[in-house]
Structures are given as C-alpha cells and as structure tokens.
Copies of this chain bind each other. A is one copy, B any other.
Amino acid sequence: MTSAEIARQAGVSLSTVSKVVNGRADVGAETRARIEDVIRRHGYRWQKQRVTGRAALLELVFRQVRDAYAIQIINGVQQVARDNHLAVVLSELHGRHTPGRGWVEDVLARRPTGVIAVFAGLTDAQSAQLRGRDVPFVLVDPGGEPAHAAPSVGATNWNGGLAATRHLLELGHRRIAVVTGPAHSLAARARLDGYRTAMETAGVPVDPVLVRVGNFRHEDGLTHTRALLRLPDPPTAVFACNDAQAQGAYLAAAEAGLRIPADLSVVGFDDLPPARWTVPPLTTVRQPLTEMAATAATMIVTLSQGTPLPQHRVELATELVVRNSTAPPR
C-alpha cells in the first residue's frame, strides 16, 4: 500500500501521511488515529531507498541499564550487529515496564531495521504501530513469559532452579532456604517452582519459613539471609535466585561470623562475570544472556529479510556452575 493510497482512504494530504509515517509530532491526535487505522488495516512498506550510505540501525531498548547483566546483553547484540553492519542505538525506559507515549514515534523516526526489547513488552497499539511499518520486534526475556505475542528469547529458569536445589540436596542439605525474585517475574516463580519440585521429589518437605521473596537486589539477599540466620532452626544453605542476592547473603553470613561454605552454602543464579570473583567464588546457575541477546538479534536480521522465524519462542539452556560456595553441611 502506498502513501498516496493511505492519504486517499484517510482523507488527508500526502504530507500528513508522511509526517505520521516518519514519527513526526505535529499531527493532531484524531488525524493520526485515522491514518494509523488505515495503516493497521492495510499494512505499509517503507520505501526501502535509504539515505545514501547510511548504515542501518538496530534499536536495543532496556527497562534499565544497570549492571553486568546489561553488559552481557549489549555484547550479544553487538556481535550480531557487527556481522550484519548494523549500528546499535541504545536506550532505556528508566525503570518502566512498558514504553510511554512518544516512544514509538521516536523509534520510527529513526527507521530502524528492528527493535530488541529488554522489558516486559509493548501495548497492543505500540505493537500495531511497529507491525504497520514493517519494523521487526523481538524480546530478550529474562522475565520468563513463554506466551509473548512478539517473538522472544528466554532461558530455562525452572530447570535452573531444579539443578541448584538438587546440587544442595546431593551435598546432604535439608534445611535449604530460597530467596526468590519479585512476584511479577515469571522467571523468579519458575526458579522457585524448580526448587519446590527438587525438594518434593527428594522427599524433603518445603518449610514455608525458608521461602523468601526478594526483588533481585543485593539488599534483599542481605536482609532475608540475616532474618533466616536468626531463626531457631536456621538453614544450612541458601539458594539466592540471582547473583546480586547471593552477594547480599555473603555479607549477612560474614556479619553472623559464619564462613562460606563451611557454615553456610550459597548458590546464585545468572553467573555474571563478577560471580567468579566473590570470596569464595560463587556456585551459580549460568543464564546465557549473551547468547540470548545474540539469538534475538539474529531473529531481527531474519525477519528484516522477510524470512519467517523457525520458532517464535526460544529458550536457551541454563547450567549449574559449581565453584567454592557450596559444601556438605556441618
């Protein structure tokens, strides 16, 4: 469908269509909605003529760029971008779970080859706007929602929770605490469910007092482990559900005069590079964030070439990495 045809159907001028298509702000809301509606119903293809020599852009959008976690994802996207001569535009939503007003317009104004999101997802209207412009959209999804409307790449969180807990059980632990992530994170729930299944299949009842809900921050590992170590019957091991919380658990153990792993075993989740350099080095479940991001970028390249994806949802394997923070209980 051409711009001229869209203009005719929406009853507006060609230049108004051009403004909306290019993400300009100076079009009234009602007119914009009418044009968006025509585009949504009939589709629209960018004229593929590019500005002379301009390298294509790949948008990488984070909820928040915060720690080594983001670095892993950036590195994975850069690998694929480099091989496909794409320049990466990095932006963030400053902690929001979905983008606000104006976000799609800004993105469309840059005419990207595609958008990789590291946040919860788009509204239906935002998705339709991108689809209408033929801009591929893929989620890197550490949050773990298997039923995304958009193509997405996650990790096998449940398996990871199972492997971490089995490892502690095999060492002989029975009082195993878990500090999981926030309730809105399906990844956190999957890791917790993996813990429950490992405990139950080993015939060890889950003591509800040992199940704590954190928010994936160092502070949560610290405060929950402090509280756990003050119980009349404290745990001999903590599965911290991410590396930051595990580091918080280390500090709580030190405060209580306990040595890791002799007095308390700790397992993390993520295996970010700093996990090798805690004292002692952290046993943790590796989440392949770099590979997840590279997979998402490859999906964008595939879609931008008009090729359908072989799989809409990909989950990459997690893997237990045993270092020195776990040992048999006293």
Contacts and interface: CB of A to CB of B under 8 A. Distances in A.
Contact of A109 (B54, B109, B248, B273): B54
A104 interface: no
A18 interface: yes
A231 B71 CA distance: 38
A171 interface: no
A280 interface: yes
A59 to B, nearest CB: 8
A24 B50 CA distance: 13
Interface in A52-97: 52-55, 57, 60, 65-68, 70-71, 74-75, 78, 87-92
B71 A66 contact: yes
Nearest to A106: B55
A155 to B, nearest CB: 21
Contacts of A274: 67, 247, 274
How many subunits of this chain does the assembly comprise? 2
A19 interface: yes
Contact of A78 (B87, B91, B280): B91
A111 interface: yes
Main secondary structure of the interface of A (DSSP, over half): mixed
B111 A54 contact: yes
Interface in A11-63: 18-19, 22-24, 51-55, 57, 60
A22 B71 contact: no
B53 A24 contact: yes
Contact of A110 (B54, B106, B248): B54
A279 B277 contact: no
B109 A92 contact: no
Contacts of A148: none
Contacts of A273: 67
A74 B90 contact: yes
B277 A254 contact: no
Given A19-B52, A109-B55, A277-B248, A90 B88 contact: yes
Interface of A: 18-19, 22-24, 51-55, 57, 60, 65-68, 70-71, 74-75, 78, 87-92, 106, 109-111, 218, 244, 247-248, 250-251, 254, 273-274, 276-281
Given A54-B110, A55-B109, 14 more contacts: A22-B53, A23-B53, A55-B110, A66-B71, A68-B71, A70-B71, A87-B89, A87-B106, A87-B110, A88-B89, A89-B90, A244-B277, A248-B277, A251-B281
